[in-house]
Amino acid sequence: MGLNMDEFHNSNTYNSLNALFTRKLKEDRKYSLDGQDFISPCDSLISECGILNYNYALQIKGMSYKGDELVGDFFSQEEKSIINNGTFINFYLSPKDYHRYHIPTNLSILKAVHIPGKFFPVNMPALKRKVNLFVENERVVLLCETQAKKRFYIVLVSALNVGVMQVSFEVKIKTNADALYSKLYSYDNLYLDKGDDFGCFEMGSTIVILAEKDFLDLNTKSGDNVKYGDTIAKIK
């Protein structure tokens, strides 16, 4: 699959394909410690990014989804409204990518919601064919708040052969487990630092960030390949 193992242990040290796909870095990467620098949470292709116009974000050029439908029904209208005219970034992780995800800026987690769903593939051909692909797939939605009280969502989206999405701070979340109903987890004092590893996909998949208006000034674009730790936006 073309994995680059330069930052990892030799492939023959992993005793299963799952261990290989969920591998950790031998040493953490260097990234900006400047509080205004918002880093990529993962190694990925930026499939689309930009402004949420009237709550719509691009799944891929010519195909859109509604931000409030992506985050689901366990958030109040006020919580959903923060992303109106805000910023979105779609990160596509291919099977060859490093599959762990990290915190993009110092934050607290206010809520986590596990939303059962389908497992459509999320590669480029599928994004062009399937309407509301992100909205229909199983996902885990995190409502985050920075120290400056800016809010944004991190949405982990499942895919074909990627039923398991690990969330290290909430072991009760069990994806690909025949759950019938969405479940909400709320937190009062859950703080995570920029760069913290908070889980992984057991194969490639997609992460979506939906941020409130006047929070992020993007310095990346659709089609860019980014690495965890790259500065992809400035916090206004």
Residues designated catalytic? 43, 102, 205
In our burial notation (b when 16+ CB lie closer than 10 A, e otherwise), range 75-96 reads: beeebbebbeebbbbbbbbbbe
CA-based nearest residue to 41, from 211, 186, 178, 214: 211
Euclidean distance between the first and the last CA atom of the chain, given in angstroms as a whole number: 39
By the 8 A CB rule, do 42 and 89 touch?
A: no
Alpha-carbon gap, residue 91 to 235, rounded angstroms: 19
H or E segment at 20? helix 17-21
Distances (CA, A) of 34 to 39, 189, 190, 221: 10, 23, 22, 21
By the 8 A CB rule, do 212 and 150 touch?
A: yes
Alpha-carbon gap, residue 61 to 199, rounded angstroms: 29
